[in-house]
Structure 1
Amino acid sequence: MVTLHRPGRRLVAAALALTAAIPLLGGCAATDSILGKPSLVIGVKPDQPGLGMKSGGKYTGFDVDMAREVARRLGKTVSFVDAPSARRETMLQNGLADLIFATYSITPQRKTKVSFAGPYYVAHQDTLVRAAETGIDNVRDLRDRKLCEVTGSNSWRRVKEERKIPVELVQSKSYKTCVDDLLAGRLDAVSTDDLILAGFSTGQTRIVNAPFSDERYGVGIRTGDIDGCEAVNTALTEMYQDGTARELLRKWFAKSGLALNFDVPQFEGCG
């Protein structure tokens, strides 16, 4: 029989403690993932017709339907919360939402703060003007015009910073407020994703139908949840392949006149 000296016993004890801790560490990692939760809190827009609208405590829209179906395919129940543009990152970082489905375009800047599954749709930025407006037919015509700037949105940057078009920015908290200001004559144009504009388009407004960017709608997810991200991507792929995504796009936007894309989008990497 070999008798361990005291240093040897310490090493053995340390090794046993480490071995015992490994399953516990794995369990903690699993509970941090959306896959370890029976129910998901998903952030959506409450004020974008056709995408995310809240009325009487009930949420409806394309983003809402997509989010609900992804949760179902993951075997989760779901509840929805408002996700204003300016708060999307902090909601994920602070655990106030497990996923964000809220016209959340994937950008390099945002990827430094959160991760993205998807995109679940690729929209295109366009411009909404008053129906009687005859001087704006494309983004270049916005020169020296009043353009809406929504807090937390990057759409105005595509005009003023990326294309160097000198516009006068009018700040707003939401696109609904933008459209109200447009109709009231307080600004000249609203430029953002065509799906958003389609929801607000009425007889008093028109979309100029001159798209100038790709807006890749991602599913916001906490940084580091690779397993959860990959599971969401699997669910989205299935939804395009079995026609669910096509059905939902037609449900909400068939009457808009937009050319809808029913192909599976090229996903971001989850690593």
Structure 2
Amino acid sequence: MQLRKITAASAAVVALALTATACGSGEKDDKGGSEGGKGKITVGIKFDQPGLGQKTPQGYAGFDVDVAKYVAKELGYSEGQIEFKESKSQDRENMLARGDVDFIAATYSINDEREQKVDFAGPYLLAHQDLLVRADDDSIKSAEDLNSKKLCSVTGSTSAQNVKQKLAPKAQLQEYPTYSACLTGLQNGAVDALTTDDSILAGYAAQDSHKGKFKLAGLELSNENYGIGVKEGSDLKAKINKALEKMVSDGSWEKAVKANFGPANYEYEPAPSIGDIKK
């Protein structure tokens, strides 16, 4: 009888100790991170867009990556607690719906169709559809100048279709599997221009191997409001908006823009106000 009492008392002590340990080391703090450095946050980015989101032998680099790291820090996570996942354009909504990622910063333009499926914080960058041409080519100064020219974009690109259907119907559209292939074609004269968002074009033009070879035409063929996607109804939206506002106010936003796009002489727009969507 006495042995059972001692055993029961010992078990109670062990249970209390385990409960105290769990409460002390694994709880999330009020920022969303985890005390003791054991938590993590999963972020979707592009892996193949220089200047924005690129996986390199040294790690992950680009403007979207810098924004994601800043936001994660403001949410209470160190850089070592971030797990980056590749978010291809066609997969983004499903990744958020399934909970594969906590948020996505991947040249994710805010539009009405996407807002039916996910929530957006931001915008944090206003980009425009533009053209990239050879540095010595002064023959393309407007979209209309693309008539009879060879225009390159990736297969299925909405940017290319926008030019072909609305702006230069006589342009000879060349669809390549990747932007890198378009750049090779642009460099060797197989095509005359490449079209997509100016931020993406600037990222490619800023690469060391491309410096001085290309230039942006400086056209604003569309407005692309980059936002950070979160699962519909997530309370992260408000927290991320606060982080983005701080990133602008403390100068980190402009520093990141210049670091990632500067070599391309990218004439970027001022940081947009939260919720200010340019149609």
TM (norm. structure 2) is 0.73
| Aligned with residue 86 of structure 2, among 66, 82, 98 | 82
Q: Is residue 230 from structure 1 mapped to residue 238 from structure 2 by the alignment? A: yes
Counterparts of 2:240 and 2:63, CA distance in 1: 16
**Contact 1:118/1:217 (CA < 8 Å) preserved in 2?**
yes
Cα distance, 1:104–1:186 mapped onto 2, change above 3 Å: farther
| Structure 2 equivalent of residue 176 of structure 1 | 180
- Aligned-residue RMSD, C-alpha: 2.8
Question: Which amino acid letter does the alignment assign opposite residue 240 of structure 1?
Answer: V
1:109-128 superposed matches below 5 A: 109-128=113-132
CA drift of 1:93 comes to 2.8
**Contact 2:151/2:172 (CA < 8 Å) preserved in 1?**
yes
After superposition, what is the alpha-carbon deviation per residue over 1:228-261, rounded to whole angstroms, capped at 9, x for unaligned?
1111111101111121112211222233322334
Question: Which amino acid letter does the alignment assign opposite residue 230 of structure 1?
Answer: A
| Structure 2 equivalent of residue 209 of structure 1 | 218
CA drift of 1:205 comes to 1.9
| Structure 2 equivalent of residue 25 of structure 1 | none
**Contact 1:233/1:267 (CA < 8 Å) preserved in 2?**
no
Counterparts of 2:276 and 2:263, CA distance in 1: 30
Question: Which amino acid letter does the alignment assign opposite residue 97 of structure 2?
Answer: Q
1:70-149 superposed matches below 5 A: 70-76=71-77, 77-149=81-153
Counterparts of 1:162 and 1:237, CA distance in 2: 36
CA drift of 1:161 comes to 4.1
Q: Is residue 218 from structure 1 mapped to residue 218 from structure 2 by the alignment? A: no
CA drift of 1:64 comes to 0.4
- Paired-residue identity, %: 39
**Contact 1:128/1:207 (CA < 8 Å) preserved in 2?**
yes
| Structure 1 equivalent of residue 20 of structure 2 | none
**Contact 1:86/1:152 (CA < 8 Å) preserved in 2?**
no
| Aligned with residue 154 of structure 1, among 158, 179, 198 | 158
TM (norm. structure 1) is 0.75
| Structure 1 equivalent of residue 45 of structure 2 | 44
**Contact 2:33/2:76 (CA < 8 Å) preserved in 1?**
no
**Contact 1:47/1:53 (CA < 8 Å) preserved in 2?**
yes
Segments of 5+ residues of structure 1 without an aligned counterpart are: 1-30
Cα distance, 1:188–1:96 mapped onto 2, change above 3 Å: farther
CA drift of 1:79 comes to 1.2
Cα distance, 1:179–1:242 mapped onto 2, change above 3 Å: same
CA drift of 1:186 comes to 4.0
